Amino acid sequence: MDTSLPADLDALAARHGFFAWGAADAGEVADRGRYLDFLARGYHGAMAYLARNTGLRIDPRRLVPGARSVLVFLRSYAWAAWPVPRGHAQVAAYARGRDYHVSMKNDLRVIAAHLGEGRARAFVDTGPVLERYWARASGLAAAGKNGLCLRPDAGSRFFIGVIVTTLHCPPSEAAPRDPCAGCDLCLRSCPTGALVAPYVLDATRCLSYLTIEHRGAIAPEFRAAMGAVVFGCDRCQDVCPHNRAPAVAGCIDARPRPPLAAPRLADMLSWDEASFNAIAAGSAVARAPLRCIHRNALIAAANGGNRTLIEAYARRPQDADLAALAAELLAS
Ligand code: B12
Ligand code: SF4
Ligand code: SF4
């Protein structure tokens, strides 16, 4: 049986919107201690799925029996900054285009199909795979102190997709050298102190977690730090010198799409389930429930001094927690 990779993988990857790909031998995650320590400290908060399937996460051979290689594919979302006028909401750059979970997964499945029936499985974000580890192990990127994978040519605004295969591919060369030498801008710029040490994120303090994954109230200590943020956070990437002028352009799939690229807070607060589902269809923004979008938009309205919006929202019948938040924001 031929167990080599098809020769046209470079062309196939480029044709499907990936600017780079690489390979690592399938095996135990060498720095699994960082992941286990993250869990032991409770930095994952309510993301219970991160603590499930730890065995699969630290060895992809348990995920795909007979796996020999992990192939890693990178897709850039480095589009120009999108203006956020007063009264509008800040949506993180990764979520301004089409939902990468869907579009990348589809493209990776096409590539996996080229590797042969039953020989490869594709993962993007949601599988039990430590994707950043594999991006580094495959020589494609280095770790930045903000926790993100970085490359000198592309900065950090790229997604990572993985194919675990029973075929063998010679491992790629070593990752780029330390891209952070002498710099700590991201650590100093994080508005909530979530980067508790270089490379270490306490997700429970991170605005990305608080605005997207966290379902309860957002503690008052984090509210001012949100500014106009309603979905995700880019601060520790915006300040990174490697993101100033990346040579790699954003993939067409990630092109910002109005109105979700920077929606009006007034519109967001008027969305009901049906309008939200229609507007967020095909976007990563759909990951957050509408009540979290409203919670975040109320805080952003308060940060922008827009009491009228909060008052109008408070007059409408709704969820008791959101009514309490609106009252609290109006009283402060
Ligand atoms: C859970 C999760 C989150 C959580 C927790 C993030 C975290 N740092 O763990 C929250 C909701 C906060 C989040 C936020 C974001 N996320 Co996220 N997230 C994930 C997810 C699903 C799992 C991450 C995980 O397992 N964390 C546990 C920690 C311990 O693992 P890790 O950070 O991957 O680190 C491993 C290695 O890299 C290594 N390591 C880490 N640092 C260092 C340093 C050195 C020196 C060494 C040797 C090793 C090392 O140790 C770990 C174990 O091997 C991944 C997808 C996936 N399946 O991997 C996406 C992923 C990491 N997220 C991504 C993105 C884009 C984001 C945001 C930018 C979105 C946004 N704008 O709001 C922010 C960035 C916040 C930040 N500063 O990290 C991308 C990152 C792409 C990249 N270029 O790095 C991923 C890979 C999704 C994807 N498929 O593209 N995310
Ligand atoms: S995404 Fe925002 S809150 Fe999270 S670590 Fe980066 S700057 Fe801090
Ligand atoms: S801001 Fe500086 S320290 Fe942080 S990831 Fe970028 S280069 Fe590294």
Digit-coded pLDDT (tens) for 57-106: 999 999 999 999 999 999 999 999 999 999 999 999 999 999 999 999 99
The per-residue pLDDT for 176 is 74
Ligand nearest to the CA of 52: 1
Q: What is the pLDDT of residues 278-316, one digit of tens each?
A: 999 999 999 999 999 999 999 999 999 999 999 999 998
The per-residue pLDDT for 173 is 81
pLDDT(2) > 70: no
pLDDT(209) > 60: yes
φ/ψ of 71, rounded to 5, equals -100, 135
Coil, helix or strand for 108?
Answer: helix
- Upstream peptide bond of 241 is cis (omega within 30 degrees of 0): no
pLDDT(7) > 80: no
Q: What is the mean pLDDT of the chain?
A: 95
The continuous run of DSSP H or E covering 230 comes out as: strand 229-231
The per-residue pLDDT for 49 is 96
Tell whether pTM > 0.75. Answer: yes
pLDDT(6) > 90: no
Q: How far are the Cα atoms of 45, 78, 143, 145, 236 from residue 242, in angstroms, in the given order?
A: 29, 11, 12, 12, 11
Q: State the closest ligand 2 atom to the C-alpha of 147, by its place in the atom list counted from 1.
A: 5
Other Cβ atoms within 10 Å of 215 Cβ, number? 11
Average pLDDT over residues 38-61: 97
The per-residue pLDDT for 47 is 97
pLDDT(229) > 80: yes
Band of pLDDT at residue 3, cut at 50, 70 and 90:
low
Q: What is the pLDDT of residues 145-178, one digit of tens each?
A: 999 999 999 999 999 999 999 999 999 987 778 8
Average pLDDT over residues 100-122: 95
Give the pair of three-digit tokens for residue 178.
């330390």
The Å distance, Cα 295 to ligand 3 centre, comes to 31
Task: State percent of the chain over pLDDT 70.
Answer: 98
Other Cβ atoms within 10 Å of 91 Cβ, number? 26
The per-residue pLDDT for 1 is 43
Residue nearest to atom 6 of ligand 3 (CA): 240
The per-residue pLDDT for 4 is 62
The per-residue pLDDT for 249 is 96
The Å distance, Cα 12 to ligand 2 centre, comes to 34
The amino acid occupying position 260 is L
The continuous run of DSSP H or E covering 311 comes out as: helix 307-315
Q: Is 62 exposed, middle or buried (0-12, 13-18, 19+ CB in 10 A)?
A: middle
Residue nearest to atom 2 of ligand 2 (CA): 233
Coil, helix or strand for 160?
Answer: strand
- C-beta separation of 294 from 269 below 8 A: yes
Length of the chain, in residues: 332
The Å distance, Cα 115 to ligand 2 centre, comes to 38
